[in-house]
Chains A and B, each alone.
Chain A
């Protein structure tokens, strides 16, 4: 089994209009042919210079995952996501101190995926989406969203966790802090909700984990992760108004995961063409959009 990886991110229409930079970032790395990771980070628009934070978070995540790779830890062990999370926080806080940045610059999500031939997992810290595309054409799509659109950003974890948790409970998000929806979209585009659940604040601050077993991995073609920009594509309907598209019913997931081949910059190529095709129908990303993917090549 071998893996190829790539990632890409683009600015959304709102930031273009506001003359702001893209605050999403994405990175990918094959540590060797049998161990790969991808990461995306979505900076908060109302934070500080979160384009800095999102970039540092993706770099920190890959560095932390590199530590897992070097130490030969079995990545199917349940402690690994927390280990990566802790290592990311150490690196991010070191960077914050070293560079003299305000913590508000680091208000950014961290969604990453790690695989080796024994399986892997997707870890969503903050909000985001993931799509697991199977060889038979089915797509398992998972999206997470925080109550009141107030994500728990990883930077809160060490010092501001308690304040965040108290604030969240005040707005009624204690038990229903994080909503997770999982859909199964078949090859014909028919979608069924597989799971629809809430995660309590106590659990959600550790992130949402999607495990991928060794057996599952054999059936998978690609693992994709997205920022929540995937949920803010809009179609212009005249007089400046635009309708928001549903990533499932409007086939955005299918479009972004329909890779033609998996060499080199395969995500950049697919995202570029999909955006170009959507734009012809006056559909554009209004929020910044990032995507990263791992292709699973089965060596039979």
Chain B
């Protein structure tokens, strides 16, 4: 699993037998509470026409988080998914404090392959659960928010919606994580809206957001939506519940 910005402050962990993720070693974390964020971005062949816009959207979302009053309490993991990648998932970086993330260094996207959407969702929720447990064991409090951004339905996963739902329920019933929000975002995905909505329900995701067709304005709104939702969820940390103000539309 190639990874940008890897260093000895990071530790690699497993989710089940097929997936891995990395996160900052807890001895390098200074705050008392964190919001864990996953942003999974579809880089399958069909995203090729708007690959640069998608990358700019990702960069803008992460950069915007740096302006959040909760910037010091966010640990963000960014990964790409496509069947052309090893294991279908490739981390751009594992869970890291914003101060250690340089969105300008994010790689150019090279879209190709099919859509391991279920695997991506499983990786996001599973990594959140596993890392939250590590944090909990070292006295940190945390909640989480996950975004899976896709332009199509699953066609090459090893995991199922049911297995994702089990991870979601694990998070909801666990004392390791205070609350979790999972958001599926469809971009340029009008033709598979029904399938994505069904997946959202079957996997136990909180929302399906149809971002509409790709335009620079829509991508800018998507970036804004992601950063606002992260900030909102982080501000709810310590209240015992999830943020109530995640917008239902973009």
Contacts and interface: CB of A to CB of B under 8 A. Distances in A.
Tell me which of A259, A260, A265, A269 has the highest count of chain B C-beta atoms within 10 A of its own C-beta. A269
B31 A273 contact: no
Nearest to B72: A264
Interface in A260-291: 260-261, 263-265, 268-270, 272-273
- The prevalent SS among residues of A at the interface is loop
A260 B26 contact: yes
Interface string A245-265: 000000000000001110111
Interface string B130-160: 0000000111110000000000000000000
A264 B139 contact: no
Interface size class of B (residues with CB under 8 A): 10 to 19
B74 to A, nearest CB: 15
B31 to A, nearest CB: 6
Contacts of A261: 26-27, 138
B28 A260 contact: no
B40 to A, nearest CB: 29
Q: Closest 10 CB pairs between A and B? A: A264-B30, A269-B139, A260-B138, A265-B32, A268-B32, A273-B139, A261-B27, A269-B32, A263-B30, A260-B139
A28 to B, nearest CB: 13
B71 to A, nearest CB: 15
A35 to B, nearest CB: 20
Contacts of B26: 260-261
Tell me which of B26, B29, B138, B141 has the highest count of chain A C-beta atoms within 10 A of its own C-beta. B138
A194 to B, nearest CB: 30
Contacts of A273: 139, 141
A268 B30 CA distance: 10
Tell me which of A261, A264, A270 has the highest count of chain B C-beta atoms within 10 A of its own C-beta. A261
A264 B31 contact: yes
A269 B141 CA distance: 8
27 contacts: A259-B139, A260-B137, A260-B139, A261-B26, A261-B27, A261-B138, A263-B28, A263-B29, A263-B30, A264-B29, A264-B30, A264-B31, A264-B32, A265-B30, A265-B31, A265-B32, A268-B32, A269-B32, A269-B138, A269-B139, A269-B140, A269-B141, A270-B139, A272-B32, A272-B139, A272-B141, A273-B141
A269 B137 CA distance: 11
A126 B28 CA distance: 37
A259 B139 CA distance: 8
A265 B30 CA distance: 6
A273 B141 CA distance: 8
Nearest to A276: B141
Contacts of B141: 269, 272-273
Contact of B27 (A263, A265, A268, A272): A263
Nearest to A274: B139
Nearest to A261: B27
Nearest to B28: A263
Nearest to B138: A260
Interface string B14-39: 00000000000011111110000000
Nearest to A8: B32
Contacts of A270: 139
A292 to B, nearest CB: 15
B209 to A, nearest CB: 34
Nearest to B238: A272
A288 to B, nearest CB: 19
B237 to A, nearest CB: 12
B36 to A, nearest CB: 16
Interface in B72-116: none
Contacts of B31: 264-265
Given A261-B27, A263-B29, A263-B30, 15 more contacts: A259-B139, A260-B26, A260-B139, A261-B138, A264-B29, A264-B30, A264-B31, A265-B31, A265-B32, A268-B32, A269-B138, A269-B139, A269-B140, A272-B32, A273-B141
A45 B27 CA distance: 38
Nearest to A4: B30
A59 to B, nearest CB: 22
A268 B32 CA distance: 6
A116 B47 CA distance: 59
A270 B141 CA distance: 11
Nearest to A260: B138
A103 B26 CA distance: 45
Contacts of B29: 263-264
A263 B9 CA distance: 13
Contacts of B137: 260
Tell me which of B29, B30, B137, B139 has the highest count of chain A C-beta atoms within 10 A of its own C-beta. B139
